[in-house]
Structure 1
Amino acid sequence: NRGYRDLREILEKAPGVSFHGDTVDLRGQGQKANTSVKVLLNGVALNMIDTTPTTIPIDLIPIEDIERVEIIPGGGSVLYGSGTSGGVINIITKKGARYPYANISTKIASYNYNDLNLGLGGNVSENLFLKTAVKGFKQRGYRKGEKNTGYYGSLGMHYKISDDQSISFDPSYYQARTYSVPSLGLAELRADRRQQGGERTFTKSTRANFDFGYTVKFGDKIEANLHPYYQDIRIIQSGFVMKDRKEGANLKGKLDYDSGEFIAGYDYLKNKGFRRINFDVAMNPMMSRSQLTIFDMQKLTHSVYALEKHNFTEAFSLSAGGRFERAEYKVNRRVLTTIKRMGNIISQTQNSTRVSDDKNNYAFEITPNFNYSKDGNLYFKFERGYISPGPNQLIDKLGRNGPYVLNNLKSETFKTYEIGLKDLIYGQYVSATIFWTDTKNEIVNETLGSSITDGWHFINIDETRRKGVELYAEQSLLS
C-alpha cells in the first residue's frame, strides 16, 4: 500500500532493522549478521551454508508475492534453531484469498526502473484453490553500466481434503541478471561520478523453491503440520560459482488447552553447497598459472524442540521451552593448479582435504509475562541459544600453499537477558525494550599474513557483549 519497490525497502523502513552492506541486521550484529540473523522464506532459511559471502539473498523474493513479513528482534533459538542471536525475519508469501481475483500492475521509478506484474487466483471448486503470480523487471543504476533485469513466477495450490485435513503445494522460480561496476577513485569522482570507471561484473542469481504442506486436526484442540521443502540457490560470476541446496522437512504439533498451549516439533535439514573459484595468473610472457578451487560442503541437522505457554491467572503467564540439535559435517576442499607454457600444460597438481565432524547444541528460554492492565504488559526473558559453525569454517589454511587442516572450532553460545513493556497510551501503541546479550566463543576469521592468500584460521573469541535499548511508537493521526 505504501508503494515499496522491493523487500529491502520494506525492511529499511521497519523499526529496529538496519543493513550492514547488503545484509539485513538486527540488534547490532554488524559483519556477523549473515550468521546471527536468520532470514526465512515460509519457514525455510535463506542463509547460505557457505558463510564466506556476507549477503543473504533477500532480493530473490519479489514484493508482489509477499503476504506479510514477521520481524522478531532477539532470540528465537527454541523454535528456529541456530543463528538467531540477532533475531528472526520470516517472509510469508501469499497462500490464498477469500474471493477470486485478477490483477495487473506496473511501477515506474528512478533510474529507468519499470516492472510488470500479473496475479490470478480463486477457487476452481468448493475445496480447491489455485493461484499464480508472474513478474518481470528491469532497472538502470545511478552509474553508467549498472543494470539489473529479472523475472519471477510462482504457482499455488491449496486443497481441502476434509474438514480436518488439507494439503498445499507452492513452487516458485526467480532469476536475475546484474551488471555492477567497480569503485571510483577521487579523481574519477571529480571528473564524472556517474562514469562506469572500469570493467563491469556480471552476476546471475537464481532460486528454485518447492514447498509442500499437510495439515491435520484432531478435534478442536490438536493440530499437526508436516512441511517438506526443497530450495536451490545459485550465484554465478566470472570465475566464481556458488550453490546452496536445502532438502528438509519440519513436523510440528500444537495442543490448545484451557490454560495455554503446548508446541513440539522435529526439524530435519540436509544442506549441501559448493564454492568454485577459477583464476589465472600471468607468470611471464611465456608462462601462466591457473588455479581451480572447489569447496564441497554438507551439513546435516536433526532437531527436536518443545515450547509451552501456561496462563496461571489472567494477569500472569509463563512461557518456557528447549531445543536439542545434532549437526553432522562433511567438507571436501580440492585445489587444482595448472602451469602452462605457450598454451601447453607442463605441470598439473591437485591437493585435496577431506574432513568430517559433528556437534551437539541446545537452547532453552523462559519468559514470565505480567498483564498489569487491559492493554499493557511487562515481560522478562532469558534465552540461551547457539550458532553452529558453517562447514567452511572448520578448515584452516596454515600458509600460502597450505596445508588445509581441521580446526577445533566450537559453536557460539549466547545468553540474552531482556525486559520489555508494551501498552496503549491514549489509544496509541508504544513499546520499550532493554536487552543484554553475552556471547561465548564468537567465531571470527584471522588472516595469517598481509592478505587472505597467505592463509587463515578460524578462532573463538572468549566473550563478546552487546546491549541496547529499543523504543517504538505508532500513531494513527487521521483514523
Structure 2
Amino acid sequence: MKNILLLAIIVSSLATAQEIKLDGSIITSTTGFEENLLKENKNITVISKETLEKKDYKNVEEVLRDAPNVMVQETYFGPVIDLRGNGERAISRVKVLVDGIGINPIDESMGTLPINTIPVNSIERIEIIPGGGAVLNGSGTAGGVVNVITKSTARKNYFTSSYGNMSYDTNKASFGGGYNITDRLYMNMGYSYLKGNGYRNDDDREEGSFTGGFDYKISDRQRIRIQGTKFRGNQDTSNPINKELLAQNRKAAGFPVESNSDRESYSLDHEFKVNDKFTVLTTLYDQRYKRNFVENSVMDYEMEMPKKKSVFVPNMNAQMDGRFDEKSKGAKIRGKYIYDRGELVLGYDYNKTKLKRSSLITATGDKYDYIMGPIKLPTVIKPVDVSVNVDNDIFKETNGFYGLNRYNLTEKLQLTTGLRYEHSSYGGTRSSVSNINTSYPNYMGGKPIKINKTRVAEDKKSSDNFAGEIGLNYSYSDTGSIYTRYERGFISPMPGQITDKDQKGEYKPNNLKSETSDTLEVGVKDFIGNSFLSWSVFTTFTEDEISLIQGSVHNPATKWWSYKNLGKTRRIGTELFAEQYFGNLTLNQGITYVNTKITKGDYKGDKVPMAPEGKLTLGANYKITEKLTSGVTFNYVGKSTVREFDKKDNTFKTNISGYHFTDLTVQYKVNEYFTVSGGINNIFNNNYNYSETRDSAIPAPGRNYYLSGAISL
C-alpha cells in the first residue's frame, strides 16, 4: 500500500507512460482498409511508434504488458494474450495478427503465440480491439483482435540503429531502414539481435530476427508489396518451482527446459484502385513456425498388467522431447466500394494450416510397487524403463465470405452491418506407442516384463458457421461520439479437440460442435477541454463453450481427456481510458474490469480460470526541458483463480492474488539524431509471479535496469 501511495504522488507531479493519442489516428483492423479511429463503433486502443520508442522493450510481450486493456498470461509453452476475461481459453478466443495475417496456432495443448518473434524495431503501431472482429476475421475473435502493423506498410524514408545493455548481462542491438529508391520503388530491411541471461539461475537466451521487402508502384492505380521475416532463437530456462523454495530464493531454478524456435513468413500484397470509388486488395501469405524443446522432470507412472495386475513406479526421472512444426498458407481478397451515403466491403479468406506435433516421453526408475487387485506386495527393487511416443499430424482448412456495410443515415448517425459465412474442415491422425521394460519380482521368478501398445486414430470433420454485427455510431460533436453494437461470433473446433482419449488409453472420436458468443457493447469517445476519454460497457454470453475434462494430469504418459460442449459463460465488464494534456505534462489512466462466471457445466458458479478481474494502468509523461523527458508507469493486474487437479483427479480452485509493478524511464535527446534512454523496471522490487498454482510459480524479475542509445535519421 505504501508503494501505491508513493506512486500516486509521483504520477500527480511528473512521470511517463503509454501515451496513446487517438485524435486523427488511422487504423486498418476493422475493415482491412484505412479508417478514421474516431468514426469506429468499437473501443479501440492504438499503441503508436512513439510509445514504443519511449521504453527499451525487449519484445512484443513486454509492450502488451503495459497496454491498458491487455492481460498477458505466461503459460507452460509461452505467452498468451487475453482480452475481456477469456482466461485459459484465450489462445483460441483472441486473434493476433501481423499486418492482418493471423498467427494463432491450431493446437491449444502445446501451441503458443509467436509474438516474440516480431522485432519491436519493425513495428509501426499495434491496434487492439477488445471483443470485436468476427465478421472480418472469422473464428476465434470472441475476446477481440490484436493487430501488429509493421513499418513495411508505410513508404517513409528512415534509418534507425540502437544498442542497449540491460540487467542480467543482456545486450540488444538493432538497425532498420526504408528508402524510396525511385518514385515507384521503396525498399526496407531491419535486423534485431538479443543475447543474455534471464532473471532465474541458469536462464539464458539468444535470438535474432531479420525482416525486409519492397513496395513497387506499378502505375498510379496499382502497387505491389513483398515482405519476408526470419526469426531464430534459443532459450534455456526451467519449469515452475515450489513456492517454499521460491520464498527462500526468488532466482532458484526448477527442472531445466531447453528450447529453440524458428519462424519465417512471406507475404505479397497487391492493391488495385479500379477507380476513385472502388479498390481491391489481395494478400497471399506463407508462414512456418518450428519449435523444439526438451524438459526434464520427476513423475509417477502406473501401468496396467494382464489379469488385473498393475505396477506403480514413483519418482521416475523423466524427460519430454517435444517437436512442433506448423505451416500455414492463405489468401485474403477484399474490395471496398464508396457510394454516396457510405461504403461497402466484400471479402473472401482462405487458409490451410498443417501441424505436425510429436512428444517422446522417456522415464527410468529403480523400484516399484507391485499390486495384485486389492493386494499391494512389498516394494520391488528392479530397473524400470518407460517410453511413450505421441505423434499428431493434423490440419485445418477454412473458407470465409463476408460483407461489411457502413451507411450514413444522417450526417451524424452511421449504421454498420456485417455478415460472414465460414466453412471449416479439420482433422488428422493421432498415434501413440508405449513401451515398458522391467521384470517380475524375484519371488515370482524374475521373468522380464515387456509391454508394447500402439494406438492410432484418424478423423475428419467440418462445420459451417455464421457471424454478424449491427451497430450505430452517433457523432454528437466534432470530437465526440457515442456508439452501440451487437456482434455474433463463433469458434470452430481445433483439429486436436475432435478426438478423445479414454482411461484405457484408446482414442475415440467425439461430436464436438462450434461454440457461439453474443456481445453487446455501449461506449463513448470524446475530447473534453484538454482531455481525451474513451469508455465502454459490455457483456458477452457464450453458448456451447468447449470444455476439457481430463484425468491423470500429473503424468503426461497416462493422461486421458475428453472435449465436450458443456460450458456456458457470462462476462460483464467496463473499459475506461483517459488522457489529459497540461503543456509539458501528459497524464493517462486505464481501467478494465471484467466479471466472469460459468453459468452451465461441471464448474457452474465458478469464475473463468486464469482470467484476472481487471487491470489498472496509471502514467504520466513530463518534458523537463526541450531535450530531457522523464516518466513513470504503474500497472496493477487483479486477482484470478486457477483450476487444478490432485493426484486422484479431483479438482480444486486456487485463488491467485493481484500484483503490481512500476517502471521509471528517462530520455535525453542529445541532438536531432541521437537519443539516450535509461530506465528502472519494477522500481519498488515487488515480488510477483508470471504464472502461479497452489504449490508452484514462475517468478517475474525483480528490480532491473537498462541503458540504450538510438540513432534516427
* TM-score interval, smaller chain: over 0.9
Which of 185-194 and 30-39 deviates more?
A: 185-194
Which one-letter code corresponds to 2:220 in the other structure? D
Percent of pairs identical after alignment?
A: 34
Larger Rg: 2
Query: Which of the residues 496, 503, 525 maps onto 1:422?
Result: 525
After TM superposition, the runs of 4+ consecutive aligned structure 1 residues lying more than 4 A away are 96-99, 283-287, 339-342, 344-349, 448-452
Q: Is the 8 A contact 1:96 1:121 kept in 2?
A: no
Residues 3 and 190 of structure 1, relative CA distance in 2, 3 Å threshold: closer
What TM-score do the two structures reach when normalised by structure 2? Answer: 0.64
Query: Which of the residues 479, 485, 495 maps onto 1:381?
Result: 485
Secondary structure of 1:188's counterpart equals helix
Which one-letter code corresponds to 1:310 in the other structure? Y
2:8 corresponding residue in structure 1: none
Secondary structure of 1:269's counterpart equals strand
2:643 corresponding residue in structure 1: none
What TM-score do the two structures reach when normalised by structure 1? Answer: 0.95
2:287 corresponding residue in structure 1: 231
2:267 corresponding residue in structure 1: 211
CA distance in 1, matches of 2:547, 2:324: 22
CA distance in 2, matches of 1:346, 1:450: 25
Q: Is the 8 A contact 2:427 2:498 kept in 1?
A: no
How do 1:15-164 residues align onto structure 2 when only pairs under 5 Å count? Answer: 15-21=68-74, 22-53=79-110, 55-95=112-152, 98=155, 100-164=157-221
Residues 189 and 448 of structure 1, relative CA distance in 2, 3 Å threshold: closer
Q: Is the 8 A contact 2:346 2:404 kept in 1?
A: yes
- Superimposed CA distance per residue, residues 36-90 of structure 1 (whole angstroms, 9 cap, x where no aligned partner): 1100111111110111136422111110111110100112100011111110000
- Superimposed CA distance per residue, residues 194-233 of structure 1 (whole angstroms, 9 cap, x where no aligned partner): 233x442111111100011111111111000110001101
Report whether the alignment pairs 1:267 with 2:370: no
Which of 359-368 and 452-461 deviates more?
A: 452-461
CA distance in 1, matches of 2:153, 2:243: 52
Corresponding residue pairs, total? 476
Q: Give the alignment's Cα RMSD to 1 decimal.
A: 2.0
CA distance in 2, matches of 1:358, 1:334: 21
Which one-letter code corresponds to 2:67 in the other structure? A
Query: Which of the residues 455, 458, 467 maps onto 2:563?
Result: 458
CA distance in 1, matches of 2:188, 2:412: 43
Question: How far did residue 346 of structure 1 move?
Answer: 6.3
- Unaligned segments of structure 2, at least 5 residues: 1-52, 295-320, 367-381, 440-447, 585-713
CA distance in 1, matches of 2:152, 2:553: 51
Q: Is the 8 A contact 1:376 1:421 kept in 2?
A: yes
Residues 137 and 386 of structure 1, relative CA distance in 2, 3 Å threshold: same
CA distance in 2, matches of 1:318, 1:90: 24
Report whether the alignment pairs 1:336 with 2:433: yes
2:424 corresponding residue in structure 1: 327
Report whether the alignment pairs 1:312 with 2:409: yes
Q: Is the 8 A contact 1:76 1:84 kept in 2?
A: yes
CA distance in 2, matches of 1:120, 1:20: 33
1:290 corresponding residue in structure 2: 387
Question: How far did residue 449 of structure 1 move?
Answer: 5.2
Which one-letter code corresponds to 1:3 in the other structure? K
Report whether the alignment pairs 1:351 with 2:455: yes
Query: Which of the residues 38, 54, 61 maps onto 1:2?
Result: 54
Q: Is the 8 A contact 2:266 2:286 kept in 1?
A: yes
CA distance in 1, matches of 2:493, 2:133: 18
1:399 corresponding residue in structure 2: 503
Residues 216 and 410 of structure 1, relative CA distance in 2, 3 Å threshold: same
CA distance in 1, matches of 2:559, 2:267: 43
Q: Is the 8 A contact 2:184 2:217 kept in 1?
A: yes
Which one-letter code corresponds to 2:545 in the other structure? E
Query: Which of the residues 383, 397, 413 maps onto 1:300?
Result: 397
2:537 corresponding residue in structure 1: 434
Q: Is the 8 A contact 2:190 2:210 kept in 1?
A: yes
Residues 192 and 316 of structure 1, relative CA distance in 2, 3 Å threshold: closer
Query: Which of the residues 549, 561, 577 maps onto 1:472?
Result: 577
Q: Is the 8 A contact 1:297 1:331 kept in 2?
A: yes
Compare relative contact order (CA 8 Å, sep 6+) and give the higher one, 1 or 2.
2
Which of 184-193 and 358-367 deviates more?
A: 184-193
2:513 corresponding residue in structure 1: 410
